[in-house]
Structure 1
Amino acid sequence: MRARAILYRATARLMAVLVAVMSVAISEAEAAQKRGPALPIIRDAEIEGLLRLYTKPIFKAAGLNPKAVRVYVLKDRHINAFVAGGQRIFINTGLIQQAKTPNEVIGVLAHETGHIAGGHLARMGVEIDSANYTTIIGMLLGLAAIAGGVAAGNAEVAQAGQGLMIGSQGLAQRNFLTYARGMESSADQAALTFLTDTHQSARGMITLFEKLASENIAVLANVDPYVMSHPMPMERIRNLEDEAKKSPYWNAKDPPALILRHQLVQAKLTGYIDGPQAVMQKYPSSDQSMPARYARAIAMFRRGDIRNALPIIDGLTKDLPENPYFWELKAQALLENGRAAEAAVPVKKALELLPSNGLIQILAAQAYIDTEQPANAKEAIKLLRQAQRTEGDTAETYRLLARAYAQTGDIPRAELATAEAALIMGDRKLAMEKAQAAQAAFKTGTPEWTRASDVMSFAGRD
Structure 2
Amino acid sequence: MALLHRIIRGIAVRCLAGLTAVSVAAGGIPVPQAKAASLPLIRDNEIEQLLRDYATPLFRAAGLKPEAVQVYIINSDTINAFVAGGQRIFIHTGLLTRAETPNEVIGVLAHETGHIAGGHLSRMQKQLDKASTAAIIGMLVGAATMIGAGLAGQGELARSGQGIMLGGQSLAERNLLSYARAQESAADQAALKYLTATRQSARGMIDLFERLSNESLASSVPVDPYVLSHPMPLDRVRNLEINARKSPYFDAGDSPALKARHAMVQAKLMGFLTSPQRVYQRYPTSDTSAPARYARSIAAFRTGDLRGALAELEPLQRAQPNNPYFWELRGQALLESGKVREAVPALQKAVELMPNQGLVRIMLAQAMLNTNDDRLIEPAIQQLQRAKRYETDSSELHAQLAIAYARRNNIPMADLETAEAALISGDVELAKQKAKRSLAAFKRGTPEWIRANDILNVKVGKD
Coarse TM-score class (shorter-chain normalised) = 0.7 to 0.9
1:14-55 CA deviation, whole Å, 9 max, x = no partner? xxxxxxxxxxxx99539x958998211111111101000000
Q: What amino acid sits opposite 1:275 in the alignment?
A: S
Residue 157 of structure 2 is matched in structure 1 by: none
More deviation in 127-136 or 297-306?
A: 127-136
Aligned positions of 1:52-451 closer than 5 A: 52-132=52-132, 169-219=169-219, 222-451=222-451
Residues 34 and 314 from structure 1, CA distance in 2 versus in 1: closer, same or farther, beyond 3 angstroms? Answer: same
Residues 166 and 373 from structure 1, CA distance in 2 versus in 1: closer, same or farther, beyond 3 angstroms? Answer: closer
SS at match of 1:445: coil
Asked if structure 1 preserves the Cα contact closer than 8 Å seen for 2:35 and 2:85, the reply is no
Q: Distance in 2 between matches of 1:439 and 1:460?
A: 20
TM-score (ref. length: structure 1) = 0.83
Asked if structure 2 preserves the Cα contact closer than 8 Å seen for 1:372 and 1:407, the reply is no
Greater helix proportion: 1
After TM superposition, give the deviation of residue 322 of structure 1 in Å. 2.3
More deviation in 230-239 or 405-414?
A: 405-414
After TM superposition, give the deviation of residue 451 of structure 1 in Å. 2.5
SS at match of 1:29: coil
Q: Distance in 2 between matches of 1:234 and 1:356?
A: 44
After TM superposition, give the deviation of residue 346 of structure 1 in Å. 1.1
Q: Distance in 2 between matches of 1:174 and 1:288?
A: 54
Asked if structure 1 preserves the Cα contact closer than 8 Å seen for 2:395 and 2:421, the reply is yes
Q: What amino acid sits opposite 1:363 in the alignment?
A: M
Q: What amino acid sits opposite 2:22 in the alignment?
A: A
Q: What amino acid sits opposite 1:91 in the alignment?
A: I
Residue 8 of structure 2 is matched in structure 1 by: none
Q: What amino acid sits opposite 1:446 in the alignment?
A: T
Q: What amino acid sits opposite 1:29 in the alignment?
A: V
Residues 196 and 373 from structure 1, CA distance in 2 versus in 1: closer, same or farther, beyond 3 angstroms? Answer: same
Unaligned runs of 5+ in 1: 1-25, 137-164
Residues 118 and 372 from structure 1, CA distance in 2 versus in 1: closer, same or farther, beyond 3 angstroms? Answer: same
After TM superposition, give the deviation of residue 178 of structure 1 in Å. 1.5
1:308-334 CA deviation, whole Å, 9 max, x = no partner? 111211221111122211110000000
1:217-268 CA deviation, whole Å, 9 max, x = no partner? 0337732222221111111111111111111111111111111110000001
Q: Distance in 1 between matches of 2:100 and 2:37?
A: 32
Q: Distance in 2 between matches of 1:166 and 1:396?
A: 47
SS at match of 2:73: strand
After TM superposition, give the deviation of residue 426 of structure 1 in Å. 4.3
After TM superposition, give the deviation of residue 302 of structure 1 in Å. 0.3
Q: Distance in 2 between matches of 1:242 and 1:430?
A: 58
Seq. identity, %: 56
1:406-427 CA deviation, whole Å, 9 max, x = no partner? 2233333222212322333444
Q: What amino acid sits opposite 1:242 in the alignment?
A: I
Asked if structure 1 preserves the Cα contact closer than 8 Å seen for 2:34 and 2:85, the reply is no
Asked if structure 2 preserves the Cα contact closer than 8 Å seen for 1:79 and 1:98, the reply is yes
Residues 190 and 382 from structure 1, CA distance in 2 versus in 1: closer, same or farther, beyond 3 angstroms? Answer: same
1:411-446 CA deviation, whole Å, 9 max, x = no partner? 332222123223334445544443344333333433
SS at match of 1:390: coil
Q: What amino acid sits opposite 2:207 in the alignment?
A: T
Q: Distance in 2 between matches of 1:172 and 1:51?
A: 37
After TM superposition, give the deviation of residue 67 of structure 1 in Å. 0.6
Residues 126 and 399 from structure 1, CA distance in 2 versus in 1: closer, same or farther, beyond 3 angstroms? Answer: same
Q: What amino acid sits opposite 2:382 in the alignment?
A: K
Residues 411 and 168 from structure 1, CA distance in 2 versus in 1: closer, same or farther, beyond 3 angstroms? Answer: closer
Residues 263 and 391 from structure 1, CA distance in 2 versus in 1: closer, same or farther, beyond 3 angstroms? Answer: same
Residues 226 and 354 from structure 1, CA distance in 2 versus in 1: closer, same or farther, beyond 3 angstroms? Answer: same
Q: Distance in 1 between matches of 2:37 and 2:367?
A: 30
Greater relative contact order structure (CA < 8 Å, 6+ sep) = 2
Q: Distance in 1 between matches of 2:458 and 2:124?
A: 34
Residues 395 and 93 from structure 1, CA distance in 2 versus in 1: closer, same or farther, beyond 3 angstroms? Answer: same
Asked if structure 1 preserves the Cα contact closer than 8 Å seen for 2:399 and 2:418, the reply is yes
After TM superposition, give the deviation of residue 375 of structure 1 in Å. 2.7
Residues 362 and 27 from structure 1, CA distance in 2 versus in 1: closer, same or farther, beyond 3 angstroms? Answer: closer
Residue 22 of structure 2 is matched in structure 1 by: 29
More deviation in 358-367 or 187-196?
A: 358-367
SS at match of 1:389: coil
Q: Distance in 1 between matches of 2:383 and 2:81?
A: 33
Rg larger in 1 or in 2? 1
Residue 21 of structure 1 is matched in structure 2 by: none
Residues 218 and 343 from structure 1, CA distance in 2 versus in 1: closer, same or farther, beyond 3 angstroms? Answer: same
SS at match of 2:404: helix
Q: Distance in 2 between matches of 1:226 and 1:119?
A: 23
Q: What amino acid sits opposite 1:367 in the alignment?
A: A
SS at match of 1:71: strand
Residues 393 and 134 from structure 1, CA distance in 2 versus in 1: closer, same or farther, beyond 3 angstroms? Answer: closer
Residues 373 and 249 from structure 1, CA distance in 2 versus in 1: closer, same or farther, beyond 3 angstroms? Answer: same
After TM superposition, give the deviation of residue 449 of structure 1 in Å. 2.8
1:131-167 CA deviation, whole Å, 9 max, x = no partner? 339969xxxxxxxxxxxxxxxxxxxxxxxxxxxx977
Q: What amino acid sits opposite 1:434 in the alignment?
A: K
1:252-292 CA deviation, whole Å, 9 max, x = no partner? 11111111110000001101111101101100001000000
SS at match of 1:82: strand
Aligned residues: 409
Unaligned runs of 5+ in 2: 1-18, 24-31, 137-164
